[in-house]
């Protein structure tokens, strides 16, 4: 499985660096960068709601562990969906075989109907 799929934060936003968001939450950013993050959140309502939820974590280490657990769970979920989809997938020649059998059955039914009509 591609490792990029497991990292849900890898390309989650193009406007701001995810490390900067983590530093903002832990209070490690200088004032100028804090204002940049706050301007970005003001423009993005979804990000603002997400940041408010993340601010409720009392310990940033718990948050990092939570994100790591989310990555693992997401990876397992994606892998299980992919394997289920692969199991349900018909081999390429199966559809051709089904079509041929259907045509033969229709021909036989037609033949018997014509014979019975005579």
Question: What is the Cα–Cα distance from 55 to 36, expressed in whole angstroms?
Answer: 17
Global pTM exceeds 0.85: no
Portion of the chain with pLDDT greater than 70, in percent: 80
Question: What is the Cα–Cα distance from 57 to 26, expressed in whole angstroms?
Answer: 10
| Segments in 11-91 forming alpha helices (H) | 18-26, 31-43, 45-55, 60-88
Q: What H or E segment, with its residue span, contains residue 5? A: helix 3-6
The contacts found for 32-40 with CB under 8 angstroms, 24 or more apart, are 40/15, 40/16
pLDDT of amino acid 15: 59
The contacts found for 9-15 with CB under 8 angstroms, 24 or more apart, are 9/67, 13/47, 15/40, 15/44
* Each residue's pLDDT tens digit, 67-101: 788 889 989 999 999 988 888 876 778 888 899 99
Say how far residue 21 (Cα) sits from the centre of its chain: 22
Report which of residues 38 and 25 the model is more confident about: 38
**What does pLDDT average to over the chain?**
79
Both tokens of 118, joined, read 């005579």
Report which of residues 107 and 34 the model is more confident about: 107
């Amino acid at each position: 499985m591609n490792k990029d799929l497991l990292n849900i934060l890898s390309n989650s936003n193009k406007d701001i660096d995810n490390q900067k968001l983590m530093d903002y939450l832990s209070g490690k950013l200088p004032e100028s960068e804090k204002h940049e993050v706050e301007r970005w959140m003001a423009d993005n309502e979804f990000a603002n709601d997400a940041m408010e939820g993340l601010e409720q974590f009392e310990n940033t280490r718990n948050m990092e562990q939570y994100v790591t657990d989310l990555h693992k769970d997401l990876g397992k979920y994606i892998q299980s969906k992919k394997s289920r989809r692969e199991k349900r997938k018909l081999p390429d020649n199966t559809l051709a075989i089904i079509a041929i059998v259907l045509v033969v059955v229709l021909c036989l039914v037609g033949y018997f109907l014509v014979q019975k009509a005579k």
